[in-house]
Amino acid sequence: MDEILEILEGNSRYSEDEIAVMTGKSVEEVHKAIKEYEEQNVIVGYTTLINWEKTSRESVLALIEVKVTPQRGEGFDKVAERIYKFKEVKACYLMSGGFDLTVIVEGKTMKDVALFVAEKLAVQEHVLSTSTHFVLKKYKDKGVIFNKKPEDDREVLFI
């Protein structure tokens, strides 16, 4: 049934009818599978991939490396939770290597992000240090290359 997930991950706008045809299953089967995925939180949500740079919206994105002291019995989870609950945090990952958490923060301006880091993130108990990197340009996100629309440039020939 994972094929349904693959299809939806590529394009969540396909209807259940369309997915049924693509996978050779009945519409009922597809409907039931998707419902189950949603209930089990396998499908966590549906979103749209937008290249905001092409719109008038001003926003900046930063990747912040955070070093944390893990807590007895809770590891990093408790600290992570306090961080990822901020609406400014778009993503939060526990990392191996030289630091512990990657926190992706979005704000309207660089100042916004800097203030968020200074006032909300760095001051958290158990946070040892932060290192902020601003995203200058998105080339590719979620497997999609941003700057060009793929076009069919195959020449016609007889085969």
Partner 1 sequence: MNIEDMVLPSIKNIPSSGIRKYFDIVNEMDGVISLGVGEPDFVTPWNIREAGIYSLEKGHTHYTSNSGLKELRAEISRYLNRRYGLDYDPENQIIITVGGSEAIDIALRALVGPKDEVIIPEPSFVAYKGCTLFAGAVPKVVNLRAEDDFKLTPQLLKQAITPKTKVLIMPYPNNPTGAVMTHEDIAAIVDVLKDEDMIVVSDEIYSELTYCGNHVSIASFPEIKDRTILISGFSKSYAMTGWRLGYVCAHPVLIDAMKKIHQYAIMCSPTTSQYAAIEALKNSSDDVLYMVSEYNRRRRVMLHGFRKIGLDCFEAQGAFYVFPCIKSTGMSSEEFCEKLLREEKVLVIPGNAFGACGEGYIRACYASSMENIMKAIRRIGNFVSKHCSKQAD
What is the binding site for partner 1 (CB under 8 A)?
3, 6-7, 11, 18, 21-24, 152, 154-159
CB of 124 to partner 1, least distance (A): 41
State which residue, 57 or 142, has the beta carbon closest to partner 1: 142
CB of 32 to partner 1, least distance (A): 19
CA 94 to CA 96: how far, in whole Å? 7
Within 10 Å of residue 126's Cβ, how many Cβ atoms? 14
Within 10 Å of residue 66's Cβ, how many Cβ atoms? 25
C-beta separation of 133 from 64 below 8 A:
yes
Alpha-helical regions (H) of the chain: 2-10, 16-23, 27-39, 77-84, 110-116
CB of 44 to partner 1, least distance (A): 23
* DSSP character at residue 54: G
CB of 24 to partner 1, least distance (A): 5
State which residue, 24 or 97, has the beta carbon closest to partner 1: 24
State which residue, 2 or 125, has the beta carbon closest to partner 1: 2
State which residue, 26 or 131, has the beta carbon closest to partner 1: 26
